[in-house]
Amino acid sequence: MDSRAIQITEIETPLEESMSLNHSRLTYRISVLLSAYDTQFDIMPELELELIEGRGKPDISIFQNLVFNWEETL
pLDDT tens-place string over residues 9-63: 555 545 456 678 888 899 999 999 999 999 999 999 988 888 888 888 888 999 9
Owning domain of residue 42: 21-64
Q: Is residue 69 part of a domain?
A: no
Q: Is residue 16 part of a domain?
A: no
The answer to whether 44 touches 58, Cβ cutoff 8 Å, is no
Q: Is residue 39 part of a domain?
A: yes
Q: Is residue 57 part of a domain?
A: yes
> 73 pLDDT exceeds 90?
no
The answer to whether 43 touches 58, Cβ cutoff 8 Å, is no
**42 vs 19, 36, 69, CA distance in Å?**
22, 11, 14
- In the chain, the number of structural domains is 1
Q: Is residue 52 part of a domain?
A: yes
Q: Is residue 71 part of a domain?
A: no
Give the pLDDT of residue 7: 61
Q: pTM to 2 decimals?
A: 0.60
Dihedral (Cα; 44, 50, 51, 57), 10-degree rounding: 40
Give the pLDDT of residue 63: 92
Q: What is the DSSP letter of 25?
A: H
